[in-house]
């Protein structure tokens, strides 16, 4: 509900988390609670009829503004963005098919998936044969309504369950789509958290799907709550959250912000993060960028099943971020990829497909990736000719007495040996098979003793 969510937001910005770092956040956040909140945000946003433009998109951003102070941008229809044109704005108030008795046999008010998204307005009596040329169903899943769009071709249509189609036996129907397509705006949301450097971590999610939960209310919800969690922290990277319409939104953002893109050092497209499937990572086009290494490490350490797939120029907005003219280090961290689960782009991608526990698991992986990114540094050994004498500096005492002193000593030796300015702490963790936290801790101790300098 609004009030409980609002008060929790104040709590996050308040003293409890203020100036914490990401590790402290990771160790104190109630992940189970976050999973539940993500789910209730999805449930709240579910009924809204979103599209790539229009009031449903705005309404969604206004709801998110109660969680994070995001900026709403309005870009005029008709603007040229690289090879594309910002489309006309689409809005819809109502739609139905009435039978000869005047009853609504298909009703937009019952499911916004019933109308092909971006349908042009129509109000007409027509024969059953004419109507059926504009109807889409899923014969293999007769109870489900498909999700269809017609953004770039002016057309109209209805999506029905196959069972609904089977009972449309009248000779004539009254068809109404009360929509509008006008030169107004394309809307998107942006939230920037300033870190101690200009280097950026981009989190992007498409926000244009109507009543569909995994694709992609789950991504919207994860991004919003992640942004809220990071906002009061003291962070090294600056974080940029984008809530954009798929494809045209990332193209528009890139066209308007080309100068900023050089700052993007890491990025993730958030999609399909609430289903029961295993976590899947789609690598960036660069294939071995820092973000690729970090996500792979987190998934390996998670102890759970996962899959890594190579970059391919299809999917979500990583297609645009990874186009050759940008080639940004942006991957896609999801659970089951688009098209690989039967409920994808149907009415069965609903509130029973996504679960708080899967949302929580996805959120924790995003947080782990961010935490390692924040702490992954490169150092130069200040005593590279033979090992420095650790005992003389009291470094054995620092670690003596601890039952893990042998492994801590080994971590120091690895960090000293590989800190040549090229290997990052994550590289050292990988090469030594020691946990990242252990390597990070060794680097902190050695830095205090002037044996390392960060580069
Ligand atoms: Zn989709």
> Within 13 A of 405's CA, how many CA atoms are on the CB side?
9
Between the CA of 207 and the centroid of ligand 1 the distance, in Å, is 10
Cα(134) to ligand 1 centroid in Å equals 21
Beta strands in 234-305 (DSSP E): 238-244, 264-270, 279-282
Distance 50 CA to ligand 1 centre (A): 12
CA distance 187 to 177: 23
Ligand 1 centroid to Cα of residue 213, in Å, is 10
CA of 346 to the centre of ligand 1 (A): 10
CA 209 to ligand 1 centroid distance, Å: 7
Query: Which helix (DSSP H) or strand (DSSP E) does residue 2 occupy?
Result: helix 2-13
Instruction: Determine contact, residues 260/326, Cβ cutoff 8 Å.
Output: no
Q: What is the pLDDT of residues 345-394, one digit of tens each?
A: 999 999 999 999 999 999 999 999 999 999 999 999 999 999 999 989 98
Distance in Å, CA 62 to ligand 1 centroid: 22
User: Hey, CA dihedral for 168, 170, 172, 178, is it positive or negative?
Assistant: negative
- Longest CA–CA span in the chain (Å) reads 95
Ligand 1 center to residue 338 CA distance, Å? 7
CA of 212 to the centre of ligand 1 (A): 8
- Sequence-distant (6+) residues with CB within 8 A of 358 are 35, 273, 274, 275, 276, 335
Residue-wise pLDDT for 264-311, tens only, equals: 999 999 999 999 999 999 999 999 999 999 999 999 999 999 999 999
- Cα of 333 from ligand 1 centre, angstroms: 15
pLDDT value of position 61: 98
pLDDT, residue 398, reads: 56
147 C-alpha vs ligand 1 centroid, how far in Å? 9
CA of 314 to the centre of ligand 1 (A): 12
Compute CA distances 261 → 192, 250, 255, 265, whole Å: 14, 12, 10, 9
Measured in Å, residue 29 CA sits from the centre of ligand 1 at: 31
Phi, psi of 229 (to 5 degrees): -65, -35
Residues linked to residue 123 through DSSP beta bridges, in sequence order: 176
Question: Which residues in the chain land under pLDDT 70?
Answer: 1-15, 397-403
3-state secondary structure of 282: strand
How many whole angstroms from 340 Cα to the centroid of ligand 1?
A: 12
How far is 29 from 413, CA to CA, in rounded Å? Answer: 33
C-alpha of residue 214 to centroid of ligand 1, in Å: 9
DSSP structural state of residue 216: I
pLDDT, tens digit, 9 for 90 and up, residues 161-178: 999 999 999 999 999 999
C-alpha distances (whole Å) from 319 to each of 160, 218, 288, 313 are: 31, 20, 17, 5
Cβ-contact 369, 375 below 8 angstroms: no
Rounded distance between C-alpha atoms, residue 238 and residue 435, angstroms: 26
User: What is the distance in A from the centroid of ligand 1 to the CA of 28?
Assistant: 34
pLDDT at 16: 78
Number of residues that this document lists for the chain = 455
Give the 3-state secondary structure of residue 201. strand
Query: Ligand 1 centre and the CA of 179: distance in Å?
Result: 22
Ligand 1 centre to CA of 345 (Å) is 6
pLDDT at residue 400, as a whole number = 55
Ligand 1 centroid – CA 402 distance (Å): 52
Q: How far is the CA of 269 from the centre of ligand 1 (A)?
A: 13
CB hemisphere CA count around 172 (13 angstroms): 7
The whole-model pTM stands at 0.95
CA 42/CA 274 separation, integer angstroms: 10
């Amino acid at each position: 509900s609004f009030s409980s969510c609002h008060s929790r937001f104040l709590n996050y910005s308040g003293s409890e988390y203020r100036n914490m770092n990401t590790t402290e956040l990771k160790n104190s956040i109630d992940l189970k609670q976050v999973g539940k909140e993500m789910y209730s945000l999805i449930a709240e946003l579910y009924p809204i009829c979103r599209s790539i433009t229009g009031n449903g998109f705005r309404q969604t951003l206004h709801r998110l503004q109660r969680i994070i102070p995001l900026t709403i941008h309005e870009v005029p229809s008709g603007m040229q963005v690289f090879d594309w044109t910002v489309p006309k704005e689409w809005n819809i108030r109502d739609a139905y098919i009435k039978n000869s008795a005047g009853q609504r046999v298909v009703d937009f008010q019952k499911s916004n998936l019933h109308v092909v998204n971006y349908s042009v307005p129509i109000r007409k009596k027509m024969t059953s044969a004419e109507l059926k040329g504009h109807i889409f169903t899923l014969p293999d899943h007769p109870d489900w309504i498909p999700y269809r769009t017609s953004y770039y071709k002016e057309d109209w249509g209805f999506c029905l369950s196959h069972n609904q189609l089977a009972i449309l036996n009248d000779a004539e129907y009254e068809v109404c789509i009360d929509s509008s397509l006008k030169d107004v705006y394309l809307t998107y949301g942006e939230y920037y958290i300033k870190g101690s450097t200009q280097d950026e971590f981009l989190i992007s999610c498409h926000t244009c799907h109507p009543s569909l939960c995994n694709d992609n209310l789950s991504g919207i919800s994860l991004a919003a709550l992640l942004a809220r969690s990071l906002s009061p922290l003291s962070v090294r990277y600056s974080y940029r959250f984008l809530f954009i319409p798929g494809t045209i939104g990332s193209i528009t953002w890139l066209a308007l912000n080309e100068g900023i893109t050089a700052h993007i050092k890491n990025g993730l497209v958030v999609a399909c993060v609430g289903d029961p499937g295993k976590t899947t990572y789609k690598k960036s086009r660069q294939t071995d960028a820092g973000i690729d290494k970090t996500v792979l490490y987190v998934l390996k350490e998670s102890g759970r099943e996962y899959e890594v797939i190579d970059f391919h120029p299809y999917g979500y907005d990583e297609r645009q971020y990874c186009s050759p003219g940008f080639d940004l280090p942006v991957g896609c961290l999801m659970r089951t990829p688009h098209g690989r689960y039967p409920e994808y782009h149907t009415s069965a991608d609903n509130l029973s497909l996504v679960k708080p526990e899967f949302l929580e698991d996805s959120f924790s992986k995003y947080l782990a990736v961010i935490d390692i990114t924040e702490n992954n540094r490169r150092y130069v050994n200040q005593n590279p000719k033979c090992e420095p004498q650790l005992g003389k500096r009291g470094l054995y005492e620092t670690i003596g007495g601890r039952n893990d002193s042998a492994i801590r000593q080994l971590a120091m030796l690895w960090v000293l040996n590989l800190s040549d300015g090229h290997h990052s702490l994550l590289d050292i963790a990988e090469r030594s098979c020691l946990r990242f936290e252990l390597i990070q801790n060794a680097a902190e101790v050695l830095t205090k003793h002037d044996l390392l300098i960060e580069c």
